[in-house]
Amino acid sequence: MKSSAADTLKQKIADRKLMVGVVGLGYVGLPLVREFCGAGIRVWGFDIDERKVRMLRAGQTYIEHLPGKFFQDLIRRRLFTPTADMDQLRRPDAILICVPTPLDKMREPDMSYIENTTLDIARRLRPGQLIVLESTTYPGTTREVCQPMLDATGLRLDRDYFLAFSPEREDPGRTDITTKRIPKVVGGVTPTSGKLAAAVYALALERVVPVSSADVAEACKIVENVYRCVNIALVNELKMLFDRMGIDVWEVIEAAKTKPFGFQAFYPGPGLGGHCIPIDPFYLSWKAREFNMTTRFIELAGEINTRMPEYVLGRVMAALNERGQSLKGSRVLVLGLAYKKDVDDVRESPAVTLIELLQKHGAAVDYHDPHIPTAKPMREHNITHMRSVPLTPASLRKYDCVLIATDHSRVDYQLVCDHARLIVDTRNACAAVKRPKAQIVKA
């Protein structure tokens, strides 16, 4: 190690005496709190949303699969301190940044959350602190955006403070692989920072994967999401083609995945959702312009995936037309508001886009989601006035069309198929239903 600050931090890690700070108590930050506290490490949790802090202290949850009572118990045991007071950023020895990285209206990176958080840390930065960015972003962000803001304090990298990147790899709602078991890629802006960051994560997680730099760690996460984005776009395009050919894409995929090598199954849907796949590839395509490169695969995949809600809308309109109805004036029930099954996460959910498109074309729209009783606030959408309606035989018969946008396990699809008049199924959710009475159109 190169400095006494590094030696001091290394000793705190070895003695398990360091304090960790997590900035952003959402789908990424809260699981990290859980794992570090579970390892006996004291954690300060920071969030600018005071409502979240109050809920955690009261034992309430705002993320379904992360129970509030669990974190209230950590607070009671003094292992976890949630706060909106950024002055407390002086306390932790290691600060993990888990804030959003959305796109702006021009589909370019919105770095304001990273910049504002780094500035908050810089104002309180003290010698001996390690800063780790976890927010998914383009390669070079930690070095080009965060480091200059921290250097402006007069403290020097490796002598006074340390800086690294470690990409989040959360899959909200997944129970078979927890945060503790997901291999943690870690890369430092310098070798010293990388070694210290790896040692911190090793306190709470089963496997740490060191890489040579923060840039490599940033690129690793982008590659993971580009891979999924491109393959999902491929099956979405094949879905549209096979539909015209009278071929069921779902049956094709089931047959193809019986091959024990050379094929991995990806599935079509009404569009991409979540914070990663719809957004992160565009960070790389944006950065590529600096190097006079055009990332054609990424941009084509993005074009296909972002137009899927329009394709689904067309299928709904065509299905209604076949029944002698127009979309304008029809009643439509959207099944599922979350971006994927069995979670309450609405970030970038195509279901929300579908609701807005249906309303724009004159439909009266309701939704049912067993995980989301009340529509959540979103940066680019405003449907917070909507509430989940009950799913009963009587309620289903009221709608001209039921649009399945998310295939939640808690939905009784036999009930839906027995009492709905028309179903447009974007997830193949009705495939296992026996003797459906409704007309089912796949989209």
Instruction: Read off the pLDDT of residues 18-46 as tens digits, 9 standing for 90 and up.
Output: 999 999 999 999 999 999 999 999 999 99
Percent of the chain with pLDDT over 90: 87
Whether residue 37 lies in the annotated active site? no
Asked if residue 138 has pLDDT above 60, the reply is yes
Task: Say what the pLDDT of residue 122 is.
Answer: 98
Give the model's confidence band at 128: pLDDT under 50 very low, under 70 low, under 90 confident, else very high: very high
pLDDT tens digits for range 332-344: 999 999 999 999 9
- Regarding the domain with residue range 4-212, which homologous superfamily does it belong to in the CATH classification? NAD(P)-binding Rossmann-like Domain (3.40.50.720)
Distance CA 399, CA 421 (A): 8
Fold classification of 308-442 (topology level): Rossmann fold (3.40.50)
Distance CA 199, CA 181 (A): 16
- Regarding the domain with residue range 222-304, which homologous superfamily does it belong to in the CATH classification? N-(1-d-carboxylethyl)-l-norvaline Dehydrogenase; domain 2 (1.10.1040.10)
Task: Say what the pLDDT of residue 3 is.
Answer: 57
Give the model's confidence band at 1: pLDDT under 50 very low, under 70 low, under 90 confident, else very high: very low
Residue 64 vs residue 91, higher pLDDT: 91
Task: Say what the pLDDT of residue 171 is.
Answer: 84
Angle in degrees, 0-180, between the axes of helices 249-256 and 214-245, rounded to the nearest 10: 120
Q: Specify the domain boundaries for CATH 3.40.50.720 within the chain.
A: 4-212, 308-442
Task: Say what the pLDDT of residue 191 is.
Answer: 98
DSSP bridge pairs for 156: none
Q: Where are the beta strands (DSSP E) in 4-155?
A: 20-23, 43-46, 80-83, 94-97, 130-133
Q: In what order do the strands lie in the sheet with 80-83?
A: 80-83, 43-46, 20-23, 94-97, 130-133, 162-165, 184-188, 208-210
Give the model's confidence band at 427: pLDDT under 50 very low, under 70 low, under 90 confident, else very high: very high
User: Which range has the worst mean pLDDT, 36-45, 179-188, 295-304?
Assistant: 295-304
Mean pLDDT, the chain, integer: 94
Give the model's confidence band at 78: pLDDT under 50 very low, under 70 low, under 90 confident, else very high: very high
- Mean pLDDT of the 320-346 span: 96
Task: Say what the pLDDT of residue 383 is.
Answer: 85
Task: Say what the pLDDT of residue 342 is.
Answer: 95
**Number of C-beta neighbours around residue 306 at 10 A:** 16
pLDDT tens digits for range 144-177: 999 999 999 999 999 999 999 999 998 887 788 8
Angle in degrees, 0-180, between the axes of helices 68-76 and 29-38, rounded to the nearest 10: 50
- Degrees to nearest 5, angle at CA 300 with 296 and 301: 115
- Mean pLDDT of the 371-391 span: 87
Catalytic residue among 37, 229, 276, 401: 276
Task: Say what the pLDDT of residue 419 is.
Answer: 97
- Counting every residue written for the chain, the total comes to 443
119 and 125 in contact (C-beta within 8 Å)?
no
Asked if residue 255 has pLDDT above 90, the reply is yes
- Mean pLDDT of the 272-288 span: 83
Give the model's confidence band at 272: pLDDT under 50 very low, under 70 low, under 90 confident, else very high: confident
pLDDT tens digits for range 112-124: 999 999 999 999 9
C-alpha closest to that of 158 among 131, 139, 136: 131
Q: Specify the domain boundaries for CATH 1.10.1040.10 within the chain.
A: 222-304
